[in-house]
Chains A and B, each alone.
Chain A
Amino acid sequence: MGIALGLVLAIAIIAVVVWPLFRPPRTSQAGARRRARELQESKAEIYRQIRQAEHDRATGLIEQADLEAQVADLRIRAARVIKQEAEMAPGDSRLEAEVAQARATIQKRGRPDQNKHEVIQGKNE
């Protein structure tokens, strides 16, 4: 009885394991999506570090000069991530760079007003 039950179990499990060998593997687009998510996450992590550095400055843990050095470094790392993001979407990257360039020249003329970008999303944190 126990042996019979065990054999049934073994056959069922072996069937599950062997099944994929007789089927062509699904090709998925998961790789690109995952890469995009990774970039998103590493960017979010860098932003967290920038905020943490600003917080450390506010509590007096670090000096102004150190804050600026840290943030400068972190900004470059974030920019590299954004550049990678842009490069992942071919077509768009050149366009985006051009638009950004154009905006940069506009902003050189007038002082950029951060507040004019109204906040759409709710406060969720």
Chain B
Amino acid sequence: MMADLGTIAVLLGLALSLYAAASSVAGRLAGIPELVVSGRRAAYMTIPAAAIGSGALVTAFVNHDFSIKYVYEHSNLVMDREFIWVAFYAGNDGSLLYIATVYAGMAGLAIWVGERQRPEIMPFTSAILMGVLAFFFFVLAVFANPFAPLEFSAADGLGINPLLSHPAMFVHPPLLMAGLAGIALPFAYAAGALISGRTADEWLDLARVSGIVVWAILGSGVLLGAWWAYTILGWGGYWGWDPIENVALMPWLAMTAFIHSVMVQKRRGMFRMWNIVLLNVAFVLAQFGMFINRGGPVVSVHSFAASTLGAVFLSFMILSALFAFGVFFWRYPMLRSDRPIESFLSREVAFLVNNFLLLGIVFVTLWGVVFPLITEFASDGSVTVATPYFNRVNGPLFLVLIALMGIGPVLAWRKASGASVRRWLTIPLLLSAATALGLASAGIREPIAILAFAVLVFVASVIAEEWIRGTLARRRAGDNWALGWWRLLNGNRPRHGGYVVHLAILLLAFGVVGTQFFDQRGDFALRPGEAATIGDYRLVYTGSEETPRSDRVLRTGSIDVYKGATFIETLRPWHAFYPAFNQASVRAAIRSTPIEDLYVVPSDFLSDGRLVLRVSINPLAWWLWIAGPVFIAGTALALWPNPATETRRAPSPARPPAAAGPSSRRPVPGGQAEPGSTA
């Protein structure tokens, strides 16, 4: 029953999204507003259609309806009930249905907001949004039907992939998929405006705000994925430059470039063409990510297995690229702006260099991802491009990019004066030199790490200097310290939200440098009672216990941790072997402190009673995960709507201007009403 309902919902979604795209464009071109309104309604109606489809699938999971193939393949009777939500998008078909659902919601919201702010561009924008949605529904209906019946009858299902039984799985894949799909939103605003012939800044605010939102969603998804890898993949790392990780990182980096560069357009009316190019690149990279995820030709630890959808997604990616750049070159003559750059030493140029570096990282990463394919075709001996390549090539670029975070903010728009730049940078440079000397004299012997820490201190002190000087300026205007700082942040939320995000990046970099350069690890095979020593820690394996579970052999080891002679705590990592999957899933036990993580993972319980332990000390890993909430807080601050423009209304003619709400402007002395109120 759920299969029928779900199939109808998917077909309905396909019809609605196609109709919405077609009738918006036709209504607009033929000048029939009824048709545009009807198309818009169809766009909104894709939300219930997709939601009912998803609801049908989740209900089938809850009812253990193994007559549906997808339910049979991704769940069983004994699985933990809460992971039904994960099973919903654990495979190709269900995850596409999830994407269609969440994307329909995002697109509906985008249309609703756009309709209120820029209706003149919306017919084309919603047509683009619905075109992408129609593609998802089309794939669901033709190639990846999650409601396809099982050919035989089964009493129990195969169960969920053990690696997915992790709390991060409730949020990491949904955020990642929503972020990748959502990049269509800012792109659709920009491309819709271009097609409408609105080539000035009509799309700017809509694309900026929606761009920051999807950028934050994608970024959170990537970071949560790193946390998942850290706690479950059992090698003590969190980022492996795996193709799937790379294809999520690349659109995020392109969007990072966009949300920086768009500020130049907002502030100075420059870089119009460039910003469109960045959105196009981000959109195509997002399609590339979905292509690689769905059966692309590269090997990866976490792509959807045995998917045949590669060609379908590749075609859609190529179509997207042709469309995006076709529109761009068609409108190219209308996009020129003649505002000059006044000086090399200006914030405009700093943003250009930022874009240059970010796209450079994207390019280098893309090159690393596709290079093995090139060699595959070009020569007999194929090569692997993995972590060492990416670290060596991208590491320096990231470091320069971070250093730029400390230079850009002190460069004024148009042209910065050398004197003021010197004045601003003296103290941060001194502090960073002191850091380098301090670390070197404290016995740290990693020159690159020292350089990196010095750069981090430099950037952090530039941000601190901004806030201290700004607060001082507000204090001169009569505020106290706390109020002055708060008003400083509040006075220009996008800018200071940006600084908070920069702080999050610094925290992340702090953790990366600590774990990359100072980690220690060892593999030990211990009998009960034996001890292993690593760093200052002594780990005593006291024994293990087996918990009977029907679908797995779950063993929990007990390891007493001593630092010197003092007992600290007992760690209980577990190891679960799933015979049905012939696969083990481990959960590391991590003793996390701001200084270092002690990370213990049971690689294997050997038949002779020994426990194989992978132990590592990951300095500063704690800071990686702190970066997440700070990142979110900064984004929220930057996006917080501005009451000055939100609540300000023209006083109504019936009321005297003086009573017209708390934030209306003072009428001019001549007594006439504020301009705009008479409209």
Residue contact B672 to A125, C-beta cutoff 8 Å: no
Residues of chain B lying within 8 A (CB to CB) of residue A59? 466, 469-470, 472-473
Residue contact B45 to A66, C-beta cutoff 8 Å: no
A25 vs B19: C-alpha distance in the bound complex, in angstroms?
19
Residue contact B16 to A55, C-beta cutoff 8 Å: no
Residue contact B420 to A36, C-beta cutoff 8 Å: no
Residue contact A3 to B650, C-beta cutoff 8 Å: no
B314 within 8 A of A: no
Which one of B2, B33, B487, B644 lies within 8 Å of A25 (CB-CB)?
A: B33
B318 within 8 A of A: no
Indicate the size class of the contact surface on chain B.
Answer: 35 or more
Residue contact B417 to A62, C-beta cutoff 8 Å: yes
Which one of B8, B34, B643 lies within 8 Å of A23 (CB-CB)?
A: B34
B161 within 8 A of A: no
Q: Knowing A25-B37, A41-B645, A58-B476 are in contact, say whether A3-B8 is a contact too (CB < 8 A).
A: yes
A85 vs B648: C-alpha distance in the bound complex, in angstroms?
15
Residue contact A55 to B491, C-beta cutoff 8 Å: yes
A6 vs B642: C-alpha distance in the bound complex, in angstroms?
44
Q: How many residues of A contact B (CB 8 A)?
A: 64
Residue contact A6 to B414, C-beta cutoff 8 Å: no
Q: Give the nearest-CB partner of B644 in chain A.
A: A44
Q: Knowing A25-B37, A61-B424 are in contact, say whether A96-B672 is a contact too (CB < 8 A).
A: yes
Residue contact A9 to B34, C-beta cutoff 8 Å: no
Residue contact B645 to A44, C-beta cutoff 8 Å: yes
Q: Give the nearest-CB partner of A82 in chain B.
A: B675
Residue contact B670 to A103, C-beta cutoff 8 Å: yes
CB-defined interface of B358-375 with A at 8 Å, one 1/0 digit per residue?
000000000000000000
Residues of chain A lying within 8 A (CB to CB) of residue B400? none
Which one of B413, B415, B676 lies within 8 Å of A88 (CB-CB)?
A: B676
Instruction: Say how far B466's CB is from chain A's closest CB, in angstroms.
Output: 8
Which residues 4-49 of B have a CB within 8 angstroms of A?
Answer: 4-5, 7-9, 12, 16, 19, 33-35, 37-38, 41-42, 45, 48-49
Residue contact B412 to A61, C-beta cutoff 8 Å: yes
Residues of chain A lying within 8 A (CB to CB) of residue B3? 2
Residues of chain B lying within 8 A (CB to CB) of residue A105? none
Residue contact A7 to B38, C-beta cutoff 8 Å: no
Instruction: Say how far A80's CB is from chain B's closest CB, in angstroms.
Output: 13
Residue contact B670 to A99, C-beta cutoff 8 Å: yes
A73 vs B2: C-alpha distance in the bound complex, in angstroms?
64
Residue contact A62 to B37, C-beta cutoff 8 Å: no
B492 within 8 A of A: yes
B154 within 8 A of A: no
Which residues 623-656 of B have a CB within 8 angstroms of A?
Answer: 642-645, 648, 650
A5 vs B490: C-alpha distance in the bound complex, in angstroms?
52
Instruction: Say how far B489's CB is from chain A's closest CB, in angstroms.
Output: 12
B1 within 8 A of A: yes
Instruction: Say how far A19's CB is from chain B's closest CB, in angstroms.
Output: 8
Instruction: Say how far A71's CB is from chain B's closest CB, in angstroms.
Output: 12
Q: Give the nearest-CB partner of A89 in chain B.
A: B678
B90 within 8 A of A: no
Instruction: Say how far A60's CB is from chain B's closest CB, in angstroms.
Output: 6
Which one of A10, A49, A117, A124 lies within 8 Å of B12 (CB-CB)?
A: A10
Q: Knowing A2-B1, A59-B470 are in contact, say whether A66-B37 is a contact too (CB < 8 A).
A: no
Residues of chain A lying within 8 A (CB to CB) of residue B52? 9
Q: Knowing A41-B645, A49-B267 are in contact, say whether A9-B8 is a contact too (CB < 8 A).
A: yes
Residue contact A20 to B420, C-beta cutoff 8 Å: no
Q: Knowing A70-B414, A117-B669 are in contact, say whether A89-B645 is a contact too (CB < 8 A).
A: no
A88 vs B469: C-alpha distance in the bound complex, in angstroms?
42
Instruction: Say how far A76's CB is from chain B's closest CB, in angstroms.
Output: 14
Q: Give the nearest-CB partner of A83 in chain B.
A: B675
A68 within 8 A of B: no
A94 within 8 A of B: no
Which residues 220-269 of B have a CB within 8 angstroms of A?
Answer: 266-267
Instruction: Say how far A82's CB is from chain B's closest CB, in angstroms.
Output: 6
Residue contact A36 to B417, C-beta cutoff 8 Å: no
Residue contact B42 to A17, C-beta cutoff 8 Å: yes
Residue contact A13 to B678, C-beta cutoff 8 Å: no
Q: Interface stretch among B549-557, B581-589, B659-667?
A: B659-667
B658 within 8 A of A: yes
Residues of chain A lying within 8 A (CB to CB) of residue B487? 125
Instruction: List residues of B whose CB falls within 8 A of some A CB.
Output: 1-5, 7-9, 12, 16, 19, 33-35, 37-38, 41-42, 45, 48-49, 52, 56, 117, 119, 266-267, 410, 412-417, 419-420, 423-424, 466, 469-470, 472-473, 476, 487, 490-492, 495, 642-645, 648, 650, 658, 661-664, 666, 669-670, 672, 675-676, 678-679
Closest 4 CB pairs of A and B: A6-B8, A2-B4, A2-B1, A58-B473
Known: A6-B4, A48-B492, A96-B672. 6 other contacts (CB 8 A): A6-B9, A9-B52, A44-B644, A55-B470, A58-B473, A117-B669
